[in-house]
C-alpha cells in the first residue's frame, strides 16, 4: 500500500496555508480524548500524520514521550519549525518506523480517512502495546441546524461538490476499516462535541483553499470558486455574525478511541 497521491502532493504544496488556516482543537474534546485514552505524564505517544502540528499544540506540554510521523515532506518542514524539540520522521500508516509494541497510544488528527484500511490497522496494532489506544480526532462541519440559505451551508456544500475523487471523513467510509478485523476491540468509544468559531470574511477562502482537493484545482477553476465563496460570505446577514461582525460557523469535534487487542 502507498500514501494517497492527492494528499501527498497537495499537502506538500499547501503546508504553510494549512498551518495558517486550519483551526486548533477545542480543550474539552482534547480532555475527553486524554481521559478516555488514559494518557498521563510519561506515556509513550505516536502522533501519526502529524501535519504541521495543529493537534500537537494541544498535548505538547503534557509530559508525554512523543514521536511524530508524517508522510509529507512539506508538512514535516512546517512541523519541525513549530516543534523543533519533538522527534519527527517521515513515515506512513503502512510503515511508521516505530518499534513493536512501543506506544501507549497512537493519535491521528484530521487524517485517518486518508488511509483507513486493514493494512493501516495492522501496522498500528504492531506498534501499540496490548491494551493501548488508537485515537482519531476530527474537527468537522456541522450543517444540520442551518437553513438552506445560511452562508456556511451554501459555501460548504459548494466546496464539497469538488470533493469527488478523494477519501474524506464525511463519507464515513473510514468506519469500514473496523469491520472484519481482530486488531482493535469493537465497539470503539466515541464522542462528538459541538462548538462555534468566528471568522473574518477574508479568512474563509484561506480555510477552504487549504483543502487538498481545492489546492489541486487548476488556476481558473480555483479563481471561480474563490469568487463564489467571497460573494456568499459578503452577503451573510448580521444574524449570522457575532457582535464584532465576524461570520459564525457551527463546528464539532469527533473523537474515537479504540483499544488494541
DSSP the chain: ----HHHHHHHHHHHHHHHHHS----HHHHHHHHHHHT--TT-EEEEES-TTSTTHHHHTTS--EEEEEES-HHHHHHHHHH-TTSEEEE-BTTB--PPTT-EEEEEEES-GGGS-SHHHHHHHHHHEEEEEEEEEEEEEE--TTS-TT-HHHHHHHHHHTT-SSS--GGG-GGGGGGTT-SSB-SSPEEEEEEEEEEE-HHHHHHHHHTSHHHHTS-HHHHHHHHHHHHHHHHT--GGGB-TTS-EEEEEEEEEEEEEB-
Q: Which residues contact 10 (CB under 8 A, 6 or more apart)?
A: 212, 213, 215, 216
d(CA 54, CA 60): 11
Q: Give the residue among 59, 123, 49 at the shortest CA–CA distance from 90.
A: 49
pLDDT at residue 18 in the model: 61
d(CA 91, CA 8): 12
pLDDT at residue 212 in the model: 81
pLDDT at residue 1 in the model: 58
The predicted-structure confidence for 81-131, as pLDDT tens digits, reads as follows 999 999 999 999 999 999 999 999 999 999 999 999 999 999 999 999 999
pLDDT at residue 213 in the model: 85
Which residues are registered as beta bridge partners of 259?
Answer: 133
- The pTM (predicted TM-score) of the whole model is 0.90
Which residues are registered as beta bridge partners of 95?
Answer: 92
pLDDT at residue 215 in the model: 84
Q: Give the residue among 89, 90, 91, 138 at the shortest CA–CA distance from 112.
A: 138
Between the alpha carbon of residue 8 and those of residues 4, 12, 30, 49, 158, the distances in Å are 6, 6, 27, 11, 24
pLDDT at position 7 over 50: no
The predicted-structure confidence for 184-231, as pLDDT tens digits, reads as follows 999 999 999 999 999 999 999 989 988 888 888 899 999 999 999 999
Q: What is the mean pLDDT of residues 246-254?
A: 97
Between the alpha carbon of residue 109 and those of residues 189, 229, 243, 251, the distances in Å are 16, 26, 31, 16
pLDDT at residue 8 in the model: 44
pLDDT at residue 15 in the model: 55
Domains parsed from the chain with CATH numbers: 5-259 (3.40.50.150)
**Residue 165 banded pLDDT, cuts 50, 70, 90:** confident
Q: What is the mean pLDDT of residues 162-181?
A: 92
pLDDT at residue 142 in the model: 96
Q: What is the mean pLDDT of residues 240-254?
A: 97
Q: Give the residue among 71, 227, 234 at the shortest CA–CA distance from 158.
A: 227
The answer to which of 8-17, 143-152, 212-221, 227-236 has the lowest mean pLDDT is 8-17
pLDDT at position 6 over 60: no
pLDDT at position 14 over 60: no
pLDDT at position 4 over 60: no
The predicted-structure confidence for 17-70, as pLDDT tens digits, reads as follows 666 667 789 999 999 999 999 999 999 999 999 999 999 999 999 999 999 999
Amino acid at each position: 500500500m502507498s500514501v494517497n497521491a492527492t494528499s501527498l502532493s497537495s499537502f506538500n504544496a499547501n503546508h504553510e496555508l494549512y498551518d495558517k488556516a486550519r483551526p486548533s482543537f477545542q480543550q474539552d474534546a482534547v480532555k475527553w480524548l486524554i481521559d478516555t485514552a488514559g494518557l498521563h505524564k510519561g506515556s509513550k505517544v505516536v502522533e501519526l500524520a502529524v501535519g504541521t502540528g495543529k493537534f500537537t499544540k494541544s498535548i505538547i506540554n503534557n509530559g508525554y514521550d512523543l514521536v511524530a510521523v508524517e508522510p509529507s515532506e512539506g508538512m514535516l518542514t512546517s512541523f519541525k519549525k513549530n516543534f523543533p524539540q519533538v522527534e519527527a520522521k517521515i513515515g506512513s500508516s503502512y510503515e511508521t518506523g516505530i518499534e513493536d509494541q512501543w506506544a501507549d497510544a497512537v493519535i491521528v488528527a484530521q487524517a485517518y480517512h486518508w488511509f483507513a484500511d486493514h493494512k493501516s490497522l495492522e501496522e498500528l496494532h504492531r506498534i501499540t502495546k496490548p491494551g493501548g489506544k488508537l485515537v482519531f480526532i476530527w474537527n468537522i462541519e456541522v450543517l444540520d441546524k442551518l437553513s438552506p440559505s445560511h452562508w456556511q451551508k451554501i459555501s460548504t456544500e459548494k466546496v464539497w461538490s469538488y470533493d469527488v475523487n478523494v477519501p474524506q471523513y464525511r463519507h464515513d467510509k473510514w468506519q469500514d476499516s473496523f469491520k472484519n478485523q481482530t486488531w482493535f476491540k469493537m465497539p470503539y468509544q466515541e464522542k462528538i462535541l459541538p462548538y462555534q468559531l468566528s471568522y473574518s470574511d477574508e479568512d474563509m477562502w484561506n480555510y477552504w483553499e487549504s483543502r487538498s482537493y481545492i489546492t489541486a484545482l487548476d488556476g481558473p477553476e480555483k479563481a471561480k470558486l474563490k469568487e463564489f465563496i467571497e460573494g456568499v460570505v459578503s452577503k451573510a446577514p448580521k444574524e449570522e455574525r457575532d457582535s464584532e461582525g465576524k461570520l459564525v460557523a457551527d463546528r464539532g469535534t469527533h473523537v474515537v478511541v479504540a483499544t488494541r487487542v
